[in-house]
Amino acid sequence: MPTIPAIDQEKEKQLILKEYRNLLRSLKETITTSERKQLRLAFEMALEAHKDMRRKSGEPYIIHPLQVAQIVVKEMGLNATAAICAILHDVVEDTELTLDDIKREFGGKVAKIIDGLTKVSGVFDLTSSIQAENFKKLLLTLADDVRVILIKIADRLHNMRTMDSMPRKKQLKIASETLFLYAPLAHRLGFYAIKSELEDLGMKYTESETYKEIARKLSDTKRERSRYINEFTRPIKERLDEEGMKYQIYGRPKSIHSIWNKMRTKHVTFEEVYDLFAIRIIIDSPQNKEKADCWKVYSIVTELFTPNPDRLRDWISTPKANGYESLHTTVMGHRGRWVEVQIRTVRMDEIAEKGFAAHWKYKEGTADKSLDTWLREIRELLRNPDYNALEFLDDFKSNLFSKEIYVFTPKGDLKILPQDSTALDFAFEIHTDVGYHCIGAKVNHKLVPLSHRLSNGDQVEVITSRKQKPNEDWLGFLITSRARSKVKHALKEEKRQVALVGRDMLEKKMKSLKLPLDDKNMAELMSYYHQPTSLELFYRIQNKDIDLKDLKNFQIKGGRIIAPKRQDKGKGTINPNLITANADLLIFDEMSDKIAYSLAKCCNPIVGDDVFGFITVNEGIKIHRTNCPNATELLSKYGYRAVKTRWTKQQEIAFLTGLKITGVDDVGLVNKVTNVISGEMKLNMQSMTIGAKEGIFEGTFMVYVKNTDELEDLIHRISSLKEITSVTRIET
């Protein structure tokens, strides 16, 4: 039996004290004497409350809240109150301490934040709707104190940094939820560095091989990159010194996740991603001279290097909705390389790094107003009783990461909307009633339909009619969560009116059968007609989708109706004897034919891919790659339906996968490629699509392979052909 190493209590005590002192050092410039006492008390209470608890890694649990507090202070720029809350964030949920204890020692404000944090704990719930409801609760706390959500993001960041000891299934769930919700939320609140780290850490677990490969290549090219940055910035520094400007200038690599995104969206290799790093110039400038000084630096940079006119981004004149201010340009540097340059002031940089927290320091400007507007809209959405949690989550999520456009009213007032917003979205931005009655719009004095997509700089005049009312078709093109929420509410209200008539019809029918319309009879009817709610049942009765004559086929016993058995056609569901609640390991081997499974068409997994099983409603288990485009959403929303999956002994099965091949067009190139596939490797092809334009060859080849080893061998062989520039596996 293995021996458990003895715990060195003195060493652990020193480690805990070191973490606490680090936190104190981070707060030394802002903390008052009374706050220092409160912080010490919070530390002692948490230390006592968590004394017998350990994390999966084996370290004392108290290290976790202390490091969350450090993130809150050092990386988010919050104060001692937030640090106290971060230290105490798990005590009410995990220990004997109560909210009353917290309130007695630290006051109502701290107790309220801890209450908010306790309400939104327990991420992995049993059903998707509870999981979404949990996130909805998290956002409700925005209405009271935004620090709740900031501490929750810090908590998630520390968990992501220390997840190596967790089981693989839990790593996948947490990483997927982080990519799906927490990274976009950090982005929306302006925490760019935290957003990037959350994305990188999420990728580390969902696409570990790709993550390691890009990290290795970044490390290998670090020295050459540093030399290039020094060479590029030298003339800029000389000119800034001549102008007597106070500044900092440095180059930083792009995040692994953003590099991978570029590789995927542009179908290029790591070596072909030209902007692996960005140069940042931060100037020390008084607020009344900020704009002029930033443009002065811009003119210096563009005098030295030729700019790409399509890559100028001016977020100084019009900041992003989350408060981000900066001037971005891309210029042609030495040796024919494009380089992104970001220009901002010390104040702008603090807002870019510390996000929402910095707005308490700089309480002015359009950025602050737009954040307030966003928070107000979230509160409005959350107050809508008709908005179920999953709908809310989808609509909220869709607006988190979207780029923005700037459009104007006829009077010249600026409105910021998500990219791809329509004329109807704009109408709802003006007022709910304007949206309800909108029949069209004039964009730049030209008549357009409701679904017309707006562009930057458009001037929009809304046309209304009192006869117009919301239409279900609108949901097909509306973009903003505000507009979608309002339309859903109006449609539901209209549905209620129709359903009232349906209810009367059902009541009369039940009365004629001398039966009560009570909960039990309603449940039997809803089950028989497959209706999720009584509202849907009544609505379909009034619309004649449900024929009440069917009731003559029901049995009546003691005031109860018993529905006849229906023979539903369709695919069978999973045998519950094969997949049980605690079965988290599915093995593909000789037994696999006893379990209904199929390979997901969205990612076409093959033997050797890192995969997971997903229990569907009526198609058995679908097998997805962990880096499938849909994996993040499936695992974050429906994590309880995922089953751990691995390949074992396979029968000789061929799996369909796709390759995208580009190269220099040359006579006989297609023959060379097909010869490698069919001749050298004896593989079957399902199809190929080829084309050439201006001397560039592009082809898509659908091929049957046995496993990832065979696929990698094929990619290597095709890449070896001198005319070929890239071979990539098609993700979908």
- What was the pLDDT predicted at 172? 87
| 412 and 456 part of one domain | yes
139 shares a domain with 32: yes
Give the DSSP per-residue string, 443-498: ETTEEE-TTPBP-TT-BEEEEE-TT----GGGGGT---HHHHHHHHHHHHHHHHHH
Q: How many CB atoms lie within 10 A of CB 223?
A: 9
Helix (H, G, I), strand (E, B) or coil at 317: coil
Spatial distance between the Cα atoms of 544 and 550, rounded to a whole number of angstroms: 12
Co-location of 179 and 101 in the same domain = yes
CA distance linking residue 73 with residue 83, whole number of Å: 7
Q: In what order do the strands lie in the sheet with 696-705?
A: 685-693, 696-705, 655-664, 724-729
User: 437 lies in which domain range?
Assistant: 402-470
Residue that finishes a domain, picked among 647, 666, 695: 647
Q: Supply the CATH number for residue 176's domain.
A: 1.10.3210.10
Do 317 and 464 belong to one domain?
A: no
Reduced to 3 states, what is the DSSP secondary structure of residue 345? strand
328 & 410 share domain = no
DSSP 2: P
Per-run averaged pLDDT (10 residues), the chain, 732 residues: 58 89 90 91 90 83 93 88 90 83 88 76 43 59 68 92 87 86 82 91 91 91 90 95 93 89 83 83 93 95 92 87 86 88 92 68 50 61 56 57 78 83 94 92 90 89 90 88 87 85 86 82 81 80 81 78 62 37 42 63 82 78 85 77 71 78 85 89 86 83 87 91 87 62
**Contacts with 629 (C-beta within 8 Å, 6 or more apart), sequence order:** 602, 603, 731, 732
- Whether residues 58 and 185 share a domain: the answer is yes
Query: Quick check: 73 and 82 in contact, CB under 8 A?
Result: yes
CA pair distance 40, 595, nearest whole angstrom? 57
What pLDDT, on a 0 to 100 scale, did the predictor assign at position 397?
A: 56
Q: Are 253 and 328 part of one and the same domain?
A: yes
Residue 572 lies in a domain: no
The verdict on 668 and 708 lying in the same domain is yes
Which residue intervals of 579-694 are DSSP H helices?
Answer: 631-637, 669-674
Please list the residues that pair with 279 across neighbouring strands. Answer: 251, 341
Q: What is the CATH number of the domain that holds 713?
A: 3.30.70.260
Q: Are residues 83 and 167 in the same domain?
A: yes
Count how many residues are written for the chain.
732
Structure pTM? 0.64
The CATH number linked to 425 is: 3.10.20.30
Whether residue 192 sits in one domain with residue 53: yes
Other Cβ atoms less than 10 A from the Cβ of 374: the count is 18
d(CA 521, CA 504): 15
Q: Please identify which residue in the block is written with the tokens 């190493």.
A: 5
Exposure string of 298-322, with b = 16+ CB inside 10 Å and e = fewer, is bebbeeebebeeeeeebbbebbbbb
Q: Is 483 contained in some domain? A: no
Dist. CA 615–CA 557, nearest whole Å: 38
> Which residues participate in catalysis according to the annotation?
93-94
Residue 220, in any domain of the structure: yes
What are the distances in angstroms from CA 302 to CA 287, 346, 452, 508? 24, 21, 37, 80
Q: Would residue 302 count as lying in a domain?
A: yes
Q: How far apart are CA 4 and CA 666, in angstroms?
A: 66
Does residue 659 form part of some domain? yes
Among 314, 336, 362, the domain-final residue is 362
In a domain, 575, yes or no: no
The pLDDT, as a whole number, for residue 216 is 93
Is residue 478 a part of any domain in this protein? no
Distance in angstroms (rounded) separating the CA atoms of residues 507 and 495 = 18
Do residue 525 and residue 624 come from a single domain?
no
Q: Token pair of 3, please?
A: 């021996």
What burial class does residue 29 get, using C-beta atoms within 10 Å of its C-beta: 0-12 exposed, 13-18 middle, 19+ buried? exposed
Q: What's the Cα-to-Cα distance from 414 to each of 214, 290, 456, 457, 606, rounded to whole Å?
A: 41, 22, 11, 9, 51
Q: Are residues 123 and 188 in the same domain?
A: yes
- Whole-angstrom distance, CA of residue 352 vs CA of residue 347: 9
Using DSSP, state whether 658 is helix, strand or coil.
Answer: strand
Whole-angstrom distance, CA of residue 43 vs CA of residue 131? 31
DSSP state of 143: G
**Torsion angle of the four alpha carbons 539, 540, 542, 546, in this order, in degrees rounded to the nearest 10:** -150
Our count of domains for the chain comes to 6
- Is residue 480 assigned to a domain? no
